[in-house]
A and B are shown apart, each in its own frame.
Chain A
Amino acid sequence: MKARTRWDEVCTVDDLVPESGVAVWTEDGPVAVFYLPHRLPALFAISHSDPFSGANVLARGITGDLKGEPVVASPLYKQHFSLRTGLCLEDDSVRVKVYPVLLDGDRIRLEVPVIQHESIAA
């Protein structure tokens, strides 16, 4: 059975900060959306929650690339997470959730799972 998902609008292009991240609130919890205008693709979305501290802070980390891999560094304990796969570069047993993200006009949409009670109602 395939889990049901939906493309939710979370913010607009104006809300984004080039080369950095912003946090958005989704039904699946807080998500960090990054805009790296000098790369293709330029948009990435991963969970906002830092698995090492449990704090919602990843959108506030410094972005960049390590050996070509786009990454964000946790602002608390500085581990790097791949923006493509969510994998932690320092500890490959740790991975944060990755969300498909797209630009629709000037709106940013995220693919989030539809939560159970809604799918029953639908």
Chain B
Amino acid sequence: MSKKTLIVIGNGMVGHHFLEQFTASAAATGFQIIVFGEEKQLAYDRVHLSEYFGGSTHADLAMGTLEWYSEQGIQLHLNEQVTGINREARRVTTSRGSYHYDKLVLATGSYPFVPPITGNDHPHCLVYRTLDDLDAIRTSAEGARTGVVVGGGLLGLEAANALKCLGLEAHVVEFAPRLMPVQLDTDGGALLRRKIEELGVQVHTEKATTSIVDGESARLRMNFSDQSFLETDLIVFSAGIRPQDALARASGLEIGERGGIVIDNQCTTSDPHVHAIGECALWEQKIYGLVAPGYTMARTLSAALNGDRETAFTGADMSTKLKLLGVDVGSIGDAHAQTPGARNIRFNDEQAGHYRRMVISEDGKTLLGAILVGDNSHYDTLLQYALNGITLPENPETLILPESQGGVPALGPDALPETASICSCHNVTKGDICGAIDAGCSDLGSVKAETRASTGCGGCTALLKNVVDNELEKRGVEVSKDLCEHFPHSRQELFHLVKVNGIRTFRALISQHGKGHGCDICKPAVASILATCWNEHILATDHVPLQDTNDTFMANMQKNGTYSIVPRIPGGEITPDKLIVLGQVAKEYDLYTKITGGQRVDLFGATLSQLPEIWEKLIAAGFETGHAYGKSLRTVKSCVGNTWCRYGVQDSVGMAIRLEDRYKGLRAPHKVKMAVSGCTRECAEAQSKDFGVIATENGWNLYVCGNGGMRPRHGDLFATDLSDEALIRTIDRVVMFYVRTADRLQRTSVWMENLEGGLEYLKEVVLEDSLGIGEELEQHMENLVGTYQCEWKTAVEDPEKRKRFREFVNAPSQSDPEQEWTIERGQRRPALESV
């Protein structure tokens, strides 16, 4: 039987998804598939397009591979635009030829709308839709200082962020009175604007551009209808998208009044042999500018081509959750309360920068829509209420109030119905997930592989994990605490085994209590336990192969295989002489030099074989290793304190140095940071550290288990008005208790959150000695402090250990050919790989 021909026009996200669905179905065997894509590249993830500026390549963003296409027997014609459709003859013409079809699928997406403004065809007027567009923006940004985005919607703000990342001063010009007019209301838009302006993007609302002419201080000048103007070097238009329906229009297919190829519930156009899916399609007068509805259309069409008339496209949810320039924004359902009788509940904390609005039905029972700005943590719960019509609690406002004001924690996974949609990109419900688990999936990874949940935009990752964990727990699956396949024990259990049985090597531990030869998970974890228990040099023969490269070579490996050097500068205090030595060494070895946030100096770009020489020089000048590579104490940051500061009440620098000298080198489950402030003004930001010390009139207040970074946590006030000695005794005990009981790679903040009994329990153990181990903890710490050695000093003095630092053991003078350099702002840095 000769095959029929199916032609797909457009190799974008939806076109590709359709091919994935269709080739896996029974009907595929009856068709020869031909795909035309106008872009040079294979279909890629447009949703994450901006990551191209963050360093992702086309290969990272690609949705499939050329091999996959050839395995499926698909004829792929990239860089070949379809120029006409002849529906009578059932042929398409392209820039290179003419082809017959039996079935035709239009997946042509949309194109950016550029408003008809005089001068909009200037070479520095650009759009933001394809990889080629981004290349053009990057080229235009060279030598540019400022950039303007026309359009303050979702994509416009993303483009503004991209301009900012390219180092330009970014402006957003919006015609409407507020940002994201479609998704947000006045208050939400105002808050978003404030936050975005704080990030350095200038927002101009209610501006209608009338013309673009040559500028005086920059390449271009934009004139506005209110007589004002703005000069800029480049302009990115992001004023909305229009369905790419030109081919369909020219061939006489039915087109909507405002564009879009009209389709029915099976994605068929006015011609039964022609179908349309994705952003080019118009369903019940609606265009969907998001990827999830496009995917649903693709699945529907694949089903229809397999003779399934039941599956139908019935519209899609347009809720969105995103982070724009780092600001959370969420919009759900009927955000503008257009349903008759709808009522609003608003929560607006201008201080914290959080705005939340719920739109509820007249009877107060269901959630119709919502707007969130500044904090999306309520999004998942609200979306589930809205999508599944779950009856609202009696006081619905509790859903958006902060917990301290009577807010209720998020909806638990148990409360979700089986039909609740967890992943909208791949249309996976809670029921599908339970099904996958019942069919044998026993962890998150296999559920993802089986259902594809959370492999689209990734927005549902946290929710998915919650559901999976909860379902596994319900089925009595113990979520395994085993370290890895080699040890059926948690880190804490291994710690006890090592300590109680006096085990001193990895080999002894694995042969007595594990199996196999170990891996990169258990080896460093055991090395850390051995170091805490016995404090032997980390380059002792038995320990070398256990360590991460950073520990083995006592320096942090950088992306090109070179290392950084961070000498300890206790409390951030340094003499001019020592500072000069740092400069001299950096100059001699051409090391990139940067001041860290931990009040010391980081020297980058040393090769393996240079490390011992450099350290020899630094040690001779009185420096010690800073352990920037270790899971151990980093720095004790301090403010200048009462020796200089007119507000200071204690010597914060002195205390910081004392603490840093005491705890330096201590191996812990994860890195530990400390800080000391000289008065309550808290200039050292001590409350964001694992251990924060703040001076009082009477002594020191101690805060524990704070954290900065990705998941900031305020330290908990642990004890007040401590004397110097009491402070150190207390920190000794908390640190040791943490080292003994925490999991592998668990920071103190997470340890505290998982500690049964929490802060109160820790106070009992440490301050009241409820377990009777206080003295033992202190004694253990004393031993560690007593056996401290500067690892670099020991290493450079030992020829055997120095041997490890040869780049190539058989060619001492051979330098690494892969290391290429370039000069930036007067210093050497790795050249980015040229592609």
Asked if B807 is an interface residue, CB under 8 A from chain A, the answer is yes
Whether B517 contacts A65 by the Cβ 8 Å rule is yes
Asked if A67 meets B544 with Cβ closer than 8 Å, knowing A23-B807, A25-B810, A25-B811, the reply is no
Q: Contact flags (1/0) for A77-104 with B, using CB distance below 8 Å?
A: 0101000000000000100000000000
Asked if B395 is an interface residue, CB under 8 A from chain A, the answer is no
Asked if A75 is an interface residue, CB under 8 A from chain B, the answer is yes
Tell me the bound Cα distance from A75 to B551 in angstroms.
11
**Residues 519-550 of B at the A interface (beta carbon under 8 Å):** 519-520, 522-524, 541, 544-550
Which residues on the A side are within 8 Å of B808 (C-beta)? 23-25, 30
Asked if A56 meets B816 with Cβ closer than 8 Å, knowing A15-B810, A65-B516, the reply is yes
Asked if A53 is an interface residue, CB under 8 A from chain B, the answer is yes
Whether A10 contacts B818 by the Cβ 8 Å rule is no
Tell me the bound Cα distance from A55 to B557 in angstroms.
11
Whether B517 contacts A76 by the Cβ 8 Å rule is no
B606 CB, min distance to chain A CBs, angstroms: 14
**Residues 1-22 of A at the B interface (beta carbon under 8 Å):** 10-11, 15, 17-20, 22
Whether B549 contacts A61 by the Cβ 8 Å rule is yes
Asked if A39 meets B520 with Cβ closer than 8 Å, knowing A19-B545, A25-B811, A57-B557, the reply is no
Q: Which of B520, B544, B811, B818 contacts A17 (CB 8 A)?
A: B544
Asked if A105 is an interface residue, CB under 8 A from chain B, the answer is no
Whether A55 contacts B545 by the Cβ 8 Å rule is no
- Residues of B in contact (CB 8 Å), total 41
A68 CB, min distance to chain B CBs, angstroms: 7
Asked if A75 meets B549 with Cβ closer than 8 Å, knowing A24-B809, A64-B523, the reply is yes
Tell me the bound Cα distance from A65 to B26 in angstroms.
41
Tell me the bound Cα distance from A64 to B517 in angstroms.
5
Asked if A62 meets B520 with Cβ closer than 8 Å, knowing A11-B809, A75-B548, the reply is yes
Which residues on the A side are within 8 Å of B41 (C-beta)? none
Whether B561 contacts A73 by the Cβ 8 Å rule is no
B434 CB, min distance to chain A CBs, angstroms: 28
Q: Contact flags (1/0) for B542-574 with A, using CB distance below 8 Å?
A: 001111111011000101110000000000000
Please tell me the size bucket of the interface on A: 35 or more
- Output the nearest chain B residue to A57 by Cβ-Cβ distance: B561
Whether A61 contacts B816 by the Cβ 8 Å rule is no
Q: Which of B545, B809, B810, B819 contacts A20 (CB 8 A)?
A: B545
Which residues on the B side are within 8 Å of A30 (C-beta)? 808, 816-817
Task: Choose among A22, A29, A61, A62 the residue with the greatest number of B CB atoms under 10 Å from its CB.
Answer: A62
Asked if A36 is an interface residue, CB under 8 A from chain B, the answer is yes
Asked if A22 meets B809 with Cβ closer than 8 Å, knowing A17-B544, A57-B561, the reply is yes
Which residues on the A side are within 8 Å of B560 (C-beta)? 53-55
Which residues on the A side are within 8 Å of B561 (C-beta)? 53, 55-57, 76
Tell me the bound Cα distance from A53 to B519 in angstroms.
21
Whether B519 contacts A62 by the Cβ 8 Å rule is yes
Whether B544 contacts A20 by the Cβ 8 Å rule is yes
Whether B519 contacts A65 by the Cβ 8 Å rule is yes
Task: Choose among A30, A56, A64 the residue with the greatest number of B CB atoms under 10 Å from its CB.
Answer: A64
Whether B545 contacts A18 by the Cβ 8 Å rule is yes
Q: Contact flags (1/0) for B509-522 with A, using CB distance below 8 Å?
A: 00000001111101
Asked if A53 meets B804 with Cβ closer than 8 Å, knowing A62-B548, A66-B519, the reply is no
- Output the nearest chain B residue to A71 by Cβ-Cβ distance: B519
A7 CB, min distance to chain B CBs, angstroms: 14
Q: Which of A15, A61, A70 contacts B520 (CB 8 A)?
A: A61
Which residues on the B side are within 8 Å of A18 (C-beta)? 541, 545
Asked if B501 is an interface residue, CB under 8 A from chain A, the answer is no
Which residues on the A side are within 8 Å of B545 (C-beta)? 17-20, 62-63
A87 CB, min distance to chain B CBs, angstroms: 16
Asked if A117 is an interface residue, CB under 8 A from chain B, the answer is no
- Output the nearest chain A residue to B808 by Cβ-Cβ distance: A25
Whether A76 contacts B557 by the Cβ 8 Å rule is yes
Q: Contact flags (1/0) for B252-281 with A, using CB distance below 8 Å?
A: 000000000000000000000000000000
Asked if B227 is an interface residue, CB under 8 A from chain A, the answer is no
Which residues on the A side are within 8 Å of B807 (C-beta)? 23
Asked if B833 is an interface residue, CB under 8 A from chain A, the answer is yes
Tell me the bound Cα distance from A65 to B518 in angstroms.
6
Whether B559 contacts A38 by the Cβ 8 Å rule is no
Tell me the bound Cα distance from A19 to B522 in angstroms.
14
- Output the nearest chain B residue to A66 by Cβ-Cβ distance: B519
Whether A17 contacts B804 by the Cβ 8 Å rule is yes
Asked if B485 is an interface residue, CB under 8 A from chain A, the answer is yes
Asked if B575 is an interface residue, CB under 8 A from chain A, the answer is no
Tell me the bound Cα distance from A25 to B519 in angstroms.
26
Q: Contact flags (1/0) for A35-60 with B, using CB distance below 8 Å?
A: 01011000000000100011111001
**Residues 783-835 of B at the A interface (beta carbon under 8 Å):** 803-804, 806-811, 814, 816-819, 833
Task: Choose among B522, B549, B553, B804 the residue with the greatest number of A CB atoms under 10 Å from its CB.
Answer: B549
Asked if A38 meets B549 with Cβ closer than 8 Å, knowing A15-B809, A62-B523, A64-B523, the reply is no
CB pairs A–B below 8 angstroms (17 shown) = A18-B541, A18-B545, A23-B807, A23-B808, A24-B808, A30-B816, A55-B818, A60-B553, A60-B557, A61-B520, A62-B545, A63-B517, A64-B518, A64-B520, A75-B557, A80-B520, A93-B65
- List the 6 shortest-distance A-B pairs measured between CB atoms, nearest first: A19-B545, A55-B561, A64-B519, A75-B549, A73-B520, A25-B811
Which residues of A are in contact with B by a Cβ distance under 8 Å? 10-11, 15, 17-20, 22-25, 29-30, 36, 38-39, 49, 53-57, 60-68, 70-71, 73, 75-76, 78, 80, 93
Known: A30-B808, A56-B816, A57-B557. 18 other contacts (CB 8 A): A23-B808, A24-B810, A25-B814, A49-B818, A53-B560, A53-B561, A56-B561, A56-B817, A60-B552, A62-B547, A64-B486, A64-B518, A66-B519, A67-B485, A75-B548, A75-B557, A76-B561, A93-B65
